[in-house]
Structure 1
Amino acid sequence: MSFSQLLSILVARIRILAWVFFLTVITTTVISFMLPKTYTATTSLVINSKGADPVTGFMLPPASMAGYMATQVDIIQSRNVALKVVDKLGVVNSPIARSQFEKSTKGEGNITDWYADQFLQNLDVKPSRESSVIEISYQGADPKFSAMLANAFAEAYINTNLQLKIEPAKQAALWFDQEIKGLRQNVELSQERLSAYQKEHGIASSDDRLDIETARLNELSNQLVMAQAQTYDSNSRHSQLKRGVESEAPEVLANPLIQGLKSQLAQADAKLTDLSQHLGQNHPQYQAAQEEVNNLRHLIASETAKTSSSVGQSARVSQQKEAEVRTSLAAQKEHVLKFKSQRDEMAVLLREAESAQRIYDNALQRFGQTNMESKSVQTDVSVLNPAVPPLKHSSPKIFINILLSIILGALLAVGIAIVAEVLDRRVRTAEDLMQMLDLPVLADINQSVKKPGNLAGSIGQFFKKVKFNKRDISKYQLLAK
């Protein structure tokens, strides 16, 4: 169908077009004025998706804005939030609400769930594309009720958001409370083992006994070195005394008593020699001098023997002392090694006690944090703009409805005109003759030649208004031949 055919059909069916168009527009306008008015109240919320934790002070990782906002929208539209709204409004206690519920459901089901579903049907939640703002809109017949519902959903969402935040903290605090009892027992048991070990071995946790014992070991080592040197020196002198003449030994020569006795002996010998020149051997003075010399020599020999014996005794004492020091050194080494082993075992017990204490302290700290979080009233949602009763209704939108009815009426009128033409096909143009009868069109006579008047004038007008189709004339001539 060409545009000229469509235009001719529309001109021919102008009455149908007018009736359908005006009927559609008038019907839409009347219905728009008759529809009940609804009011939409909107509450704006700000979502803080990142920042510092109000309890611990730790910086929270930034959340994915798209996924986070979508999650918050789903939470607002959840049944959990709607049930909180129903409970807040006290719908269950309202006789009017109960009668409406029984009338709609015939008493079947739960009134709370039914009203939660009804509220969700009129709820609209829109997150902002480039910000952290969420708009909660509720549509109802009463502007005050719509504003109240929008604010109620915002408040219920904030409470739900806080509940979702503190419920895990409550569970964690309960778990920490149970675990802390076992950790406290571990700390007490490790401390008891450490104290019992220290008491058994006489070790204080902060004493310097190991340093004292080590210093004593070093002192015994030095004493052993000195005793060994003294023993070597004593043995050397004793051996030298045995190999040589005792009177020429250094100890004998260094003995002042022996040297004094030797001086007296020299004097006595000189006296005896002088007496021997004047007196005989039987003379009492000679015999007295002789006896004095013999006594001095006996004393010198006795003192020399004593000195020699003292050198040997000193060597034996040095050896004995060296043996005692060596024994004490070995015992001290064993004692130090044993003490080090005890300190190592105590260090293990001390580390176990410190580890148990550290774990207990960390658990106690986390318990304190989670306990505070479970009692927190801080939330990351704030009301930016609370809903107020709207002054103008949001629907029906009469101007938009009329504009749409004009467009729809025009399309519907054209469609009905075409359907009517299809059901009752008429010849409107030359193209219709060619398509329907398959006949060539020689000329198209304008309607203005049908006007009555002078025949000559009419003929003249006819030839002026006739539009000849040269292509069809040539076809007709060929057919005539």
Structure 2
Amino acid sequence: MNLSQFLLILGARKKLVFFTLLLTVLAALTVSLLLPKSYKATSTLLLNYKGVDPLTGVTMPGQLLPGYMATQIDIASSKKVALQVVDQLKLASSPAVVAQFNSATEGRGSVRDWLADLLLRKLEIVPARESSVVDISFKGSDPQFVAAVANAFAEEYQKVSIQLKVEPMKKASVYFDEQTKALRDNVEKAQSRLSKYQQEHGIVSVDNRLDVESNRLNDLSAQLVGAQGQLMEAQSRQRMAQGSSGESPDVASNALIQNLKVGLGNAEAKLSEIAQRLDRNHPQYQSAKAEVDKMRRDLDEQIRVASRSVGNNAQIFQQREASVRAALLEQKNKVLELNRTRDEMGVLAKDVESAQRAFDSASQRFSQTKIEGQSEQSDIAVLNPAVAPIEPDGPKVVRNVLLSLFLGVFLGVGLAFMVELLNRRVRSENDLREALQIPVFGVVDWAPKRHGNARLNALLPRRLRLN
């Protein structure tokens, strides 16, 4: 079907379309005038768009998510809020409402649930575009009642929002309270183990004691090096004194030996002089020789004594070196023991520190959750409370009439096509061609002319068009 056929059908059925449109408009106008008036009250709420908790000042990422506004709308239109509105307005206690409930449901179910469902059907929640403002609207026949219900929904929505935020905090505070007690016990046990270990090992300050013992170990190390040097020098002097005592500087520097050498030299000189004058058997020669022999024996004895003194000095240095070495070894073991003690004490101290840190963190979190659990602050504020409307919101006669115009035209056109399909007629040459499946050779226009003989004009064709 082309456009010309469509227009021909509408032209042929224009009366049907007109009457259908007229009936539709009259019906819509009649219904709009007969319907009872309805009123609409709106309460405007402002949600905290900054996403900052008013109590702690912490940014709440949940309010920054795209689904936050949709979630809040679902909460405001939830049955929990509706039930609290029923309780606040005491609707379930009205005898008329109870009678209406028994008549509608035959006593099945609960009056509160039935009223909540009725309120939700007439509730409308619309968020503003690109802002955090939400309109809570309620429709009804009583202006005062719709305003009270809209304000009640806004108020109960605030309470439910606070309750949903506070209840998890209360449960969390109970959990953190239990954890804080357990962590406090862990801190006390770790501190007790550390104190017991310090008492058993007599530790007051392990760091200061370790510094003292380390300094002592360094001093002993220096003393050992010095003792080893003195021992090596003493052993060298001992070997020299035992090998060639006359060349030993320790023996040569002995004052008594030097005096004996001087005396021996004088005695030998005297003996040499007497030997030039007297015979060996002379008493003076014998006396001088005896004196030389005695002084030589004394010199040898003193040299041996000096050599033994050098050897004794070397033994003394050796004993000192051995004692210093033993003291150094003992001090080293003591320092190692202190290091081990410090490591063990460090582990215990770290256990105490870790337990204390966990306790402090849990205690801080417990304090915060406890405060948040007791908070009644809400991030939702009433921007404009609902007031009783003066003008009715419906029925809207003009809108209904305009809608009925479109609906009447649509129904008229549809009815015209339905009637045309039930009683199909040839209205153009295309209809004839499609119906008979034969070519059309000509079209005769039988419309009469407006002048001359009317009867003759009616019998004659006005125009003949050949294909």
Coarse TM-score class (shorter-chain normalised)? 0.7 to 0.9
Amino acid at match of 1:168: P
1:196-239 Cα distance to aligned partner (Å, 9 max, x none): 12222222356321122111111111111111111112222222
Report which stretch shifted further, 86-95 or 384-393: 86-95
Structure 1, unmatched stretches of 5+, are 450-458, 476-481
Confirm whether residue 384 of structure 1 aligns to residue 377 of structure 2: no
Q: Could you give the per-residue CA deviations for residues 117-154 of structure 1, whole angstroms, max 9, x where no partner exists?
A: 11111111112233222211100111111011111111
Aligned to 2:201: 201
For 1:318, the aligned partner's letter is: F
Match in the other structure for 1:356? 355
CA contact (8 A) 2:82 2:120 kept: yes
Which amino acid in structure 2 is aligned with residue 366 of structure 1?
R
Per the TM alignment, residue 92 of structure 1 is displaced from its structure 2 partner at its CA by 3.4
Assess if the C-alpha contact under 8 Å between 1:75 and 1:81 holds in 2.
yes
Q: Which residue of 2 aligns with 1:401?
A: 400
Sort the Cα spacing of 1:77 and 1:365 in 2 relative to 1 into closer, same or farther, 3 A: same
Q: Is the 8 A contact 2:445 2:464 kept in 1?
A: no
d(CA) in 1 for partners of 2:50, 2:274: 131
- TM-aligned CA deviation for residue 321 of structure 1: 0.8
**Corresponding residue of 1:460:** 453
Matches of 1:26 and 1:200, distance apart in 2: 106
Q: What is the Cα deviation at residue 338 of structure 1?
A: 1.7
Residue of structure 1 in register with 2:366 after alignment: 367
Return the alpha-carbon distance in structure 1 between the equivalents of residues 414 and 264 of structure 2: 171
Alignment of 1:58-457 (within 5 A): 58-61=58-61, 66-205=66-205, 207-245=207-245, 249-259=248-258, 304-405=303-404, 444=446
Q: CA RMSD in A?
A: 4.3
For the Cα contact (< 8 Å) 2:245–2:251, is it kept in 1?
Answer: no
> Which deviates more from structure 2 when the two are superposed, residues 414-423 or residues 320-329?
414-423
Q: Normalization by structure 1: what TM-score?
A: 0.77
Evaluate the alpha carbon distance shift between residue 299 and residue 108 of structure 1 in structure 2; reply closer, same or farther with a 3 A threshold: same
CA distance, structure 1, for counterparts of residue 340 and residue 427 of structure 2: 122
Q: Deviations over 1:85-133 (max 9, x none)?
A: 1121122333443333334333332121111111111111112233222
Partners of 2:326 and 2:12 in 1: how far apart?
138
Any idea what SS the aligned residue of 1:43 has? strand
Distance 1:96 1:204, change over 3 A: farther
1:251/1:408 CA distance change after superposition, 3 Å: closer
Q: Residue 203 of structure 2 aligns to a residue in which SS?
A: coil
Following TM superposition, by how much is the alpha carbon of 1:308 offset from its aligned partner in structure 2, in angstroms? Answer: 3.1
Gap change, CA 1:359 and 1:414, over 3 Å in 2? closer
Does the residue aligned with 2:46 lie in a helix, a strand or coil?
A: strand
Contact 2:206 2:342 in 1 (8 A): no
Q: 1:311 to 1:7 in 2, by over 3 A?
A: closer
Please list the CA deviations of residues 229-267 of structure 1 after superposition, one character each: whole Å capped at 9, or x if unmatched. Answer: 111122222221222245x64334433455556667888
- Count residues with an aligned counterpart: 450
The amino acid that maps onto 1:203 is I
Percent identical across equivalent pairs? 43
SS of the aligned residue for 1:91 comes to: coil
CA distance, structure 2, for counterparts of residue 405 and residue 244 of structure 1 = 146
Flag the 1:35–1:252 CA change in 2: closer, same or farther, 3 A.
Answer: same
Measured in 2, the distance between the counterparts of 1:114 and 1:312 equals 120
| CA shift in 2, pair 1:168/1:467, >3 Å | farther
CA separation of 1:237 and 1:73: change in aligned 2, threshold 3 A? same
Counterpart of 2:439? Answer: none
Distance across 2 between alignment mates of 1:24 and 1:298: 164
User: SS of 2:355's equivalent?
Assistant: helix
